[in-house]
Structure 1
Amino acid sequence: MVIGLIETILNRNKEIAFSFDLELFEQQSQRAHMKRLAIDTCIAFLGRTISQSEFRVKDGSNLIKDELYYRLNVRPNKNMTSSTFWETFVHKLVYDNEGLIIQADDGDLLIADDFEHNEYAVYEDTFTNVMVKDFTFKRLFPQSKVIHLRYRNERLSPLIDSIFADYGDLFGKLLNSHKRKNQLRGTVDIESNKAKDDETMAKLQSYINKMYKAFSENDIAIVPQQPGFKYNETSSNKGSTSGLSVDEINKVTDGFLNQVAMALGIPLTLISGSMADVEKHTKNYMKFTVNPLTKKLQDESNVKFFTMDEYLAGKRIEIKTMSYQSIFELATSIDKLVSSGAFTGNEMRLEAGYEKSADPKLDKHYITKNYQEMDTDEGGENK
């Protein structure tokens, strides 16, 4: 009944109907692009870091370069390089909170785009309906034959969605407010002797559209007056420079990005490119974010590629992450460790990320400093 009454009033007075057609209220946008930008920025940053790691297949202290080494570090499958492969896997692992790698009949390592995880209490978990791109495997994959990781105990997406609910609302309101800051507003007077029928209203709307186009597309616009139509500008902020700035909108975007980065354990200074305390933040990022993730991947790889007897005999996979310091920056520290006799040259080479040298001299301990034992007066030189 209420709707019918409104329609009756609008039909009687076309001026009121015309004012409703202007759509003065705009529906709020979800601003989903801000969410995608923040998530993709953080996950891609973490993925690029992991993709620079080296998967070392070792037998004791010896580095083995076999087919497994080649697939993990060079060409996992026919369509991907190792860097692209691991970056893609980290993206799926973090975004979906679960990642699955299967091995095809020809030995290729494939990242599953979708799968069903069948969990059991005392039996081995299985994976069915494993989909890679547009192909679905019909067979069942047991847990012992795949690389399967969870990123964290709970999914990250509900947390990010709840954060975005507030930031997205604020971002949308600030953006709309900024759009209205210098918006042109005006009224059009119609002479009383002009008939306000549909034809007249159509001409009026066409006139307004032409004025809007002239103002929006030209720095200087001259609009001729129409007989019976008079345009009056009523913008309250005409000539004013006060109001919302773009920096305030950017602060909201940075605030949401900061929350997502915090959830992933990534210092915002590294993402934003700030030069303040880069080494300190990089060290914390590698220690508390990258290394725990590579430890998960390393443990899972050792379980799936080697038996318990092989692992205990010294066969294993070690993941060497990217170094944020060069050997030239570590030269003084390496010299002190070797010259004090605490470590051999080969031990330092392995710690710095290089293979052992075949020179037997680098397996010996040397003391090149004038050290002496406590509670003795004898120095390092013979008296």
Structure 2
Amino acid sequence: MYDVDLLEGTSERIKMKQLAIQTCVNMIGRIISQSEFRVKKNKETIKDELYYRLNVRPNKNMSASFFWQTVVYKLIHDNECLIIKSATDDLLIADDFDRVEYGVVEDTFKNVTVKNFTFQRTFTMNDVLYLEFDNENLSKLIDSLFMDYGSLFGRMVEFQKHKNQIRSTVDLETTGAKDPETQRKLQSFIDRMYQAIKEKTFAIIPQQKGFTYTEQAASSGASVDEINKVSNGFLDHVAKALGIPVALIHGEMADVEKATRNMMTFCIDPLLKKIKDESDAKFIDKKEYLAGKRIDIKRVSYSNMFDVATSVDKLRSSGVANGHELRDAIGLEQMDDPILDKFVITKNYQETNELEGGDK
């Protein structure tokens, strides 16, 4: 009657919270990890050490895709992410650090820890890539939202377990029940009987004199569909807070192109802009930047060149864009062919007074 194991909290359903955050953050991380980081100068891609670090091997222990996926996870989950450069030019993601803020001079970072190693030096803001997420209170929002949803979710799970639980009683008529050895043998028999009922589809229980086993009727409770609705409701709120269309989270196919475009515009592009701005400021000095050197991030496209072939042909043949502009728009690098610099008009695009007949 007083066993504390019988008292189980219903609000600590942390799995639902972890699943929602992991689903949303991993979706964003997978998309951004497919981006290509280009170092450009006057529209020409420079494939140097920085290009290799950003796209192939940022450090000795991480691939570029896993590196950027980790950056996105820490940025969203912790609301900040610190990337430092080691003495061997490796890009390392800090697991822990202390930030000292100043008003008119650069902030500093002390006790920077990467896994099991803590740097003794102090990093200045100009030495690191420091990223902050948009919503400062996102973690607090998720935590407060989870307090309500988690309590409701936990209670419904308990109801469902209670609904499908096998409950029974055992009546004993014996004069030797108080004997310790008899009690041990009887308890062992009851435990094996319960285990057989729990695990086997078909269980046979021997009937004995003075021993009666009776199952009780199960009570009603929440259905599995109702539990899923509560879990999906929490997931939807987390997705909306991160700018992810709810339809994409649930894998709905209706208007998937429109939902994908919205996610790229309102979720992925703002994050890439943060990374680009910080990279431009830290990897490229002011003189080089004003001379035309840039970090250009080419995110993964939800359409390929064959999907936009007709539109590309129309833009090219009408003289709206030249070849280089179109190649850049569809993610291709520029070429040395001079014909791509020219604007061309085909299919008799001309003014009406230049047509044959003159009066038309």
The verdict on a shared fold, with TM-score over 0.5 as the criterion, is yes
Deviations 1:210-238 (A, max 9, x none): 3311211222222223433322222246x
1:148 alignment partner in structure 2:
130
Gap runs ≥5 in structure 1: 1-18
Residue range with higher mean Cα deviation, 165-174 or 87-96: 165-174
Residue 68 of structure 1 aligns to a residue in which SS? helix
Question: Is residue 366 of structure 1 aligned with residue 344 of structure 2?
Answer: yes
2:312 alignment partner in structure 1:
334
CA distance in structure 1 between the aligned counterparts of 2:151 and 2:44, rounded to whole angstroms = 57
2:281 alignment partner in structure 1:
303
Residue 188 of structure 1 aligns to a residue in which SS? strand
1:12 alignment partner in structure 2:
none
2:83 alignment partner in structure 1:
101
Offset, 1:174: 1.6
Offset, 1:201: 5.5
2:20 alignment partner in structure 1:
38
Judge conservation of contact 1:89–1:111 (CA < 8 Å) in 2.
yes
Larger radius of gyration: 1
Change (3 A) 1:175 1:331: same
CA distance in structure 1 between the aligned counterparts of 2:241 and 2:35, rounded to whole angstroms = 23
Judge conservation of contact 1:147–1:304 (CA < 8 Å) in 2.
yes
Offset, 1:185: 2.0
1:7 alignment partner in structure 2:
none
> What is the correspondence of 1:1-383 to structure 2 with a 5 Å cutoff?
25-28=7-10, 30-191=12-173, 194=175, 197=178, 199=180, 205-236=187-218, 244-373=222-351, 377-379=352-354
CA distance in structure 2 between the aligned counterparts of 1:225 and 1:22, rounded to whole angstroms = 34
Judge conservation of contact 1:183–1:235 (CA < 8 Å) in 2.
no
Offset, 1:121: 1.1
Residue range with higher mean Cα deviation, 135-144 or 27-36: 27-36
Offset, 1:358: 1.1
Change (3 A) 1:106 1:205: same
Offset, 1:198: 6.4
Change (3 A) 1:22 1:229: farther
CA distance in structure 2 between the aligned counterparts of 1:184 and 1:269, rounded to whole angstroms = 39
The Cα RMSD (Å) is 2.3
CA distance in structure 2 between the aligned counterparts of 1:116 and 1:21, rounded to whole angstroms = 45
Offset, 1:55: 0.9
Deviations 1:183-225 (A, max 9, x none): 222222344x736636366555444323311211222222223
Offset, 1:251: 2.1
Residue range with higher mean Cα deviation, 193-202 or 278-287: 193-202
Residue range with higher mean Cα deviation, 65-74 or 283-292: 65-74
Offset, 1:105: 0.9
Offset, 1:361: 1.1
Offset, 1:273: 2.4
Judge conservation of contact 1:370–1:379 (CA < 8 Å) in 2.
no
Offset, 1:246: 2.3
Offset, 1:309: 2.2
CA distance in structure 2 between the aligned counterparts of 1:139 and 1:314, rounded to whole angstroms = 33
Count of aligned residue pairs for this structure pair: 357
TM-score for both structures, normalised by structure 2: 0.92
CA distance in structure 1 between the aligned counterparts of 2:195 and 2:308, rounded to whole angstroms = 64
Change (3 A) 1:24 1:228: farther
Residue 378 of structure 1 aligns to a residue in which SS? helix
What amino acid does structure 1 have at the position aligned with 2:256? V
Residue 129 of structure 1 aligns to a residue in which SS? strand
Offset, 1:24: 5.5
Judge conservation of contact 2:13–2:153 (CA < 8 Å) in 1.
yes
Higher relative contact order (CA 8 A, sep 6+): 2
Deviations 1:138-169 (A, max 9, x none): 00111011110101241422211112112221
Change (3 A) 1:382 1:343: farther
CA distance in structure 1 between the aligned counterparts of 2:171 and 2:70, rounded to whole angstroms = 61
State the identity as a percent. 57
Judge conservation of contact 1:270–1:282 (CA < 8 Å) in 2.
yes
Gap runs ≥5 in structure 2: none
Offset, 1:22: 10
Residue 172 of structure 1 aligns to a residue in which SS? helix
Offset, 1:381: 6.4
Residue range with higher mean Cα deviation, 308-317 or 291-300: 308-317
Residue 354 of structure 2 aligns to a residue in which SS? coil
Change (3 A) 1:344 1:184: same
Offset, 1:25: 4.5
Residue range with higher mean Cα deviation, 344-353 or 147-156: 147-156
